[in-house]
Amino acid sequence: MHRRIQRAFDLRPGEPVLALQSALLFYLILSAYYVLRPLREEFGLAAGIENLPRMYMGTLAGTVALAPCFGWLVKRYRREVFLPIVYRFFAVNLLVFQLFVRLADPSQMLSLGRVFYIWLSVFNMLAVSLFWSFMAEGLGYTRSRRLFGLIAIGGTAGAILGSSLTAALVERIGRAWLMVIAAVMLEGGVQVISRLVRRFDASGFRADEPAPPPVTGKQAGRSVLGGVTLTFTSPYLLAVAGYLFLYSLTSTFLYFEQAHIVDAQALTREGKAVLFARIDLWTNVLTIVCEILLTGRLLKKLGTGRVLALLPVGTAVGFAALALRPQLLVLTLFQVLRRAANYALARPARETLFTTVDNNVRYKAKSFIDTFVYRGGDALGAGTVEALGVAGLGLGPLAVIGVPTAAVWTWLALYLGRRQRAEADAAGL
């Protein structure tokens, strides 16, 4: 198996086991998330579509509240200490949630559902951001361009498992047991982290790569909010933030359209959870096919900037099609294809952007961008949708807004590719 993987993904001696362990960690993290994701969507619809913008704002507030705690952990502890702390904290939260789900009456379930919706949205941002920061630190610029595609396959396989479990079991065992399953998966990820830390720290593992230089721009201290200063004093990091912000903004537009369509279906709450799980399953099956056949090859052949540009170009085409034919089939195909392009191509390419920066940037500025900036895009998108609804315009104008937004987004992608290459060349990577 090692020899076959080594040939297929251009792996060097010692890298197959490293890549498989990294993929296993991502597998467990995304399995846990995708077990819970359909429950979040179902809870959100049960609370009422009109309340979704408020829950988006609640997610932003929750992210801001956790940012100082996260910064304190990064400042005080090494990665092998603070990563298990964070993942186990979320696992304990899930055990508390499952207890409340068992005890809550129908009226209490609505309030509990709103809290869970916000909690899972915050968890997703922090858990995945931490994982990729860990990978960027351990693998570096050169190895990340070869290994991130393979590692992403592990995450997609976990997403398929998680959504399949929920689709098959939610009507049989209920929500509470699914939360327990997700908590067990997070604990499994903690066990893998300790093995990866030892492998990353193995003598001579990174002897062939110079240490990456700090990112261009004024460097901040290691205060809990240092990530904000690091981001706003670096053109490179501002471009990364802008790229992610525009992705989040356009994703929110599509999310609300999906919510209206699903809410119009004559389904029970559990039936809606099954539907969301199946959509996730179809998306992730397509994603894993792309990761196996395309991700590594395109990153190597086109480079980071051009791969990043594929998502905004595809989004512009999708929004244009939606403006011409605002139909269920068009919307569903657009959503599935767009999410697969993000998971298989744009996300691995974007994570390589943090392999040419130092750890201060990698764990603090990246966390700020992946959480606060992303959720800021969500909040602005939700506010835009709510304003259009109040004005009686509906969601149609969003398709027109999406095309020029994607043009700016494409420019940012190409700029980031050029800047990353310049930083790598300056460091001799």
Helix extents (H) in 201-234: 226-232
Amino acid at 40: R
Of 94-98, 157-161, 232-236, 364-368, the range with the lowest mean pLDDT is 364-368
* Rg of the chain over all Cα atoms, to the nearest angstrom: 21
Do 308 and 298 contact (CB within 8 A), yes or no?
A: no
The predicted model gives 116-127 an average pLDDT of 85
Residue 266 banded pLDDT, cuts 50, 70, 90:
low
Q: How far apart are CA 285 and CA 359, in angstroms?
A: 34
Residue 217 pLDDT greater than 60, yes or no = no
Residue 209 banded pLDDT, cuts 50, 70, 90:
very low
Quote the mean pLDDT of the chain: 78
Share of the chain above pLDDT 90, in %: 14
Determine the number of helices (DSSP H) and then strands (DSSP E) in the chain: 16, 0
Q: What pLDDT is recorded for position 215?
A: 40
Q: What pLDDT is recorded for position 214?
A: 42
At residue 90, the 3 state secondary structure works out as helix
Residue 388 banded pLDDT, cuts 50, 70, 90:
low
Residue 203 pLDDT greater than 60, yes or no = no
Residue 47 pLDDT greater than 80, yes or no = no
Residue 14 pLDDT greater than 60, yes or no = yes
Residue 1 pLDDT greater than 70, yes or no = no
Q: Which of 5-14, 63-72, 223-232, 286-295 has the highest mean pLDDT?
A: 286-295
Residue 353 pLDDT greater than 60, yes or no = yes
Helix extents (H) in 233-354: 235-263, 269-290, 296-302, 304-324, 328-341, 347-352
Enter the tokens of residue 241.
């933030």
Q: Which of 70-79, 232-241, 350-359, 387-396 has the highest mean pLDDT?
A: 232-241
Length of the chain: 429
Q: What CATH number labels 9-203+212-427?
A: 1.20.1250.20
- pTM, full prediction: 0.68
How confident is the model over 133-150, as pLDDT tens digits?
788 777 776 777 677 777
Share of the chain above pLDDT 70, in %: 78
Residue 389 CB partners (closer than 8 Å, separation 6+): 395
Residue 110 banded pLDDT, cuts 50, 70, 90:
confident
Give the Cβ contact number of residue 251 at 10 Å: 18
User: Which residue did the predictor score with more confidence, 380 or 350?
Assistant: 350
User: Which residue did the predictor score with more confidence, 176 or 375?
Assistant: 176
**CA dist 89 → 36, 59, 230 (Å):** 16, 18, 27
Q: How far apart are CA 402 and CA 317, in angstroms?
A: 9
At residue 429, the 3 state secondary structure works out as coil
The predicted model gives 122-132 an average pLDDT of 83
Residue 87 banded pLDDT, cuts 50, 70, 90:
very high
How confident is the model over 300-330, as pLDDT tens digits?
788 889 999 999 999 888 888 877 777 767 7
Secondary structure, 3-state, 93-118: HHHHHHHHHHHCCHHHHHHHHHHHHH
**CA dist 128 → 95, 156, 294 (Å):** 20, 13, 22
Residue 405 banded pLDDT, cuts 50, 70, 90:
confident
In DSSP notation, 360-422 reads HIIIIIHHHIIIIIHHHHHHHHHHHHHHHHHTT--SHHHHHHHHHHHHHHHHHHHHHHHHHHH
The CA-to-CA distance between both ends of the chain, in Å, stands at 30
Enter the tokens of residue 300.
């190597």
Residue 374 pLDDT greater than 90, yes or no = no
Q: What pLDDT is recorded for position 81?
A: 80
How confident is the model over 160-201, as pLDDT tens digits?
888 888 878 887 888 889 999 999 999 999 999 988 888 777
**CA dist 155 → 57, 160, 197, 198, 338 (Å):** 28, 9, 19, 21, 17
Q: Of 379, 339, 373, which is closest to residue 118 (Cα–Cα)?
A: 379
**CA dist 341 → 38, 169, 313, 399 (Å):** 21, 28, 11, 19
Burial 120-131 (b: 16+ CB within 10 A, else e): bbbbbbbbbbbb
Q: Considering only the C-alpha atoms of the chain, give the largest distance between any 2 of them, rounded to a whole number of Å.
A: 64
How confident is the model over 279-290, as pLDDT tens digits?
777 888 888 888
Q: How far apart are CA 68 and CA 74, in angstroms?
A: 10
Q: What does DSSP assign to residue 104? A: -
Residue 221 banded pLDDT, cuts 50, 70, 90:
very low
